[in-house]
Structure 1
Amino acid sequence: MIKTVRIGIIGSGGIAHAHINQYKRLPNVQIVGVADVVPGKAKQFVDSLSLTDTQAFEDHRKLLELDLDGVSICTPNVSHHVTTVDALRAGKHVLLEKPMSVTLAEAVDMVKATKESGKILTIGFQPRYDPNMKLVQDIVQSGKLGKVYYVETGGGRRRGMPGGTFIRKDLAGAGAMADIGCYSLDMALNAMGYPRPLTVSSFTSNHFGTNKLYHPEADRFEVEDFGVAMIRFENDLVLQFKISWAMHMDTLGSTMFLGTDGGLKVNPAGTGNWSGVWDGKVGDLTLFHDFMGQPTSTPIPIIEHTQDLFFEKVRDFVDAVSEGHPAPIPGEQILIQQAIIDGVLRSSELKREVAIELPY
């Protein structure tokens, strides 16, 4: 008999609808409760989806008192830390939307709570479920490129600035770097096995977000809409990271892995003002190498994949909870990314290179 997995949802904003829609596709999932700090919002959410057997709460701690196996955390970034730690300490498995946290100290605390509780914390990077992302990882780690010494990743939307909680520093913590830049970092770092970062030098700006010509909430825009950083890792590896919510350009370029024996170029999928970043599928892949002493480029066929990546993320979490698997995308790994983003923001503020310090 298939075990029923009892799930709670913390936060009932837009992304919570995506989680609910995917959970409803799984016959062994029961949505037990929803919590939202805004009075009446969780009840409205539950009623709008006709979740007749689902309880609504205004305090996530009351939700965590229920008999739950796991929770999806869909709150603004600033609440990721407290809701995750509370859930883990209450003995619940956690699927957390990206970015992991606002600060590095919060991420460290979350990983500590994971280890102490014995429960899993998995972070919501659904692009990893595109088989072409796995293909990128396989190529980079196969040795085909030789020693990889330089990586360039990022991307940028010509126009794609969100509003609301995304642009408030007290709720989001950061802007484009954390919102869409985290996808770019995960794609590149995961392909390389998440190497240990040492230093970062960065620059950020918000020329578009604070301009009423480009954003209707310019007076309330508090985070960066553009950023670029050079990150140094162990083993003489450097990574150039760049991201933009808005710009006067069609692209910030491809993701590139340069190695001593070959190079790999990766383009994102999609077209239009909101495309150009790594929050979806891979567009195309090209391997650059020498053949018979001549520079050669070889297109790599894209693997067709029709499955919904968000569904695969949710299903993988449910399977891990039901069958006792490890976290599909563990918080211990994404903590490294959080350390980089923390360093990027510190370097930009101080206008100099800073050290990246990991707790282990």
Structure 2
Amino acid sequence: MTSKIRIGIIGSGGIARMHVNAYRQMENVEIVGVADIVPDRASQFIATHHLNQAHAYEDHLVLLEQELDGVSICTPNVSHYQTTMDALAAGKNVLLEKPMSVTLQESVEMVEMSKKSGKMLSIGFQPRYDPNMQFIRNYIQDGNLGKIYYVEVGGGRRRGMPQGTFIRKELAGAGALADIGCYSLDLALHTLGHPKPLTVSATVSNHFGTNPKYHPEADNFNVEDFGAALIRLEGGITLQFKTAWAMHMDTLGATRFLGTDAGMKITPYGEGPWSGVWDGGVGTITKYHDIGGRLTHTPIPCVRSDLNLFDEKVKDFVHAVANGLPAPISGEQIILNQAIIDGIFRSSELGKEVDIVLP
């Protein structure tokens, strides 16, 4: 009989609940511990979710001393770096919620520690498991649009600003860019095959979050709620990026891939003021091309699936742990995402284009 995969949970907030729900669907997984720095919070989480075999810890380092095959890190963004470094140094495989880190340097050091420890670091970008997202990447990677020279990624909510830890820089590190913008960037970079970013010219602002007319915690709001950037990628590709938690507009536009042979327009799935971002599924796919010298376009049907993308992310992590496979969504890939976000903030602060230097 195969022994169970022993999992620990670090951080017991709302996102941890989703991890637990996914793990509990797998017969080969046992959640053996939960850690949270808030006194009694881990024990309350264990009781609420009936994790009868799990032990509660207020120090994640004590949890990491236990026999574990992997950990889910579900802490506030600013603690992603140290908690991940500790887990990898302790010889544990890591499934880390996005964003990967607050700074580019932190991401680099996390990947280096993963290589040094021989343990995987997988980052939680569950939209990659959407069948339509996978189709888009495969279709473009197969050369059906020709050479890609321009990509435009949108993603914005008319109203959709979170509260609590999301809006405080000392806990979140960043706002809309870290919360939803990273999904747009991953859609573009993953589809393109992860080209390196070279330069960024960008701006960020927070006109809505700091206004009590639009946010109940305006006095505590000190992150960005909007960002836009022009990014040069290797291979002669231009990437236009924009994201918003709130705006006076219905949409920031579709995602577009322009190729030398054809183009593709993609819209996100969902309706309402909190929709319009790439943290979920695909709404429409349309190919623009020529037939016999005539301009035409072809709607590509989307697959409507019952897949829970979050569950698929966790299952893939467990599968990789159980079979000694590489990280499903590696830190090496997400470093490029983090490099762009880092460049956006530097460019906005300096008011000019900045270079992106990767190790």
Q: What TM-score comes out, normalization by structure 2 length?
A: 0.99
Partners of 1:325 and 1:303 in 2: how far apart? 28
State the Cα deviation string for residues 250-281 of structure 1 (Å, max 9, x = none): 00000000111110001100000100000001
Structure 1 unaligned spans of 5+: none
Q: Output the CA distance in 1 between the equivalents of 2:80 and 2:198.
A: 26
Structure 1 CA distance for aligned equivalents of residues 3 and 306 of structure 2: 27
Moved over 6 A (4+): none
1:94-113, aligned counterparts within 5 Å?
A: 94-113=94-113
Question: 1:6 and 1:140 mapped to 2: Cα distance?
Answer: 38
Partner SS for 2:155: strand
Aligned match of 1:128: 128
Structure 1 segment 144-159 matched on structure 2, within 5 A: 144-159=144-159
The aligned runs of 1:239-278 (5 Å cut-off) are 239-278=239-278
How much has 1:140 moved relative to structure 2?
Answer: 1.4
In the TM superposition, what are the counterparts of 1:205-284 in structure 2 within 5 Å?
A: 205-284=205-284
1:15 paired to 2:15:
yes
Structure 1 residue identity aligned to 2:80? H
Given residue 201 of structure 1, which amino acid in structure 2 is its aligned partner? Answer: S
1:43, distance to aligned residue in structure 2 (A): 1.1
AA in 1 matched with 2:13: G
2:301 maps to amino acid: P
Alpha-carbon separation, structure 1, partners of 2:356 and 2:295: 37
Deviates more, 1:130-139 or 1:250-259: 130-139
Mean CA deviation greater in 298-307 or 257-266: 298-307
State the match for 2:175 in structure 1. Answer: 175
Structure 2: how far apart are the matches of 1:166 and 1:307? 27
Gap regions ≥5 residues in structure 2: none
For 1:63-107, what per-residue CA distance to the aligned partner results, in whole angstroms no more than 9, with x for missing partners?
Answer: 000000000000000000001010011010000000000000100
Count of matched residue positions in the alignment of Structure 1 and Structure 2:
359
Letter in 1 for 2:294: Q
Counterpart in the other structure of 1:293: 293
Deviation at 1:3, TM superposition (A): 3.3
* Alignment of 1:350 onto 2:355: no
Q: Deviations over 1:129-149 (max 9, x none)?
A: 011111111121121111111
Within 1, Cα distance between the matches of 2:324 and 2:163? 38
Give the match for residue 50 of structure 2: 50
CA contact (8 A) 1:3 1:322 kept: no
For residues 179-215 of structure 1, give each alpha carbon's deviation from its aligned partner in whole angstroms, at most 9, with x where no partner exists: 1000011011100001011000001110000000000
Q: In structure 2, what is the equivalent of residue 88 of structure 1? A: 88
- Asked if 1:30 is matched to 2:30, the reply is yes
RMSD between aligned alpha carbons? 0.7
> Letter of the aligned partner of 1:95 in structure 2?
L
TM-score normalised to the size of structure 1? 0.99
Quote how far apart the aligned CAs of 1:154 are: 2.4
User: Is the 1:154–1:185 contact (alpha carbons within 8 Å) kept by the matching residues of 2?
Assistant: no
- CA distance in 2 between counterparts of 1:234 and 1:270 reads 33
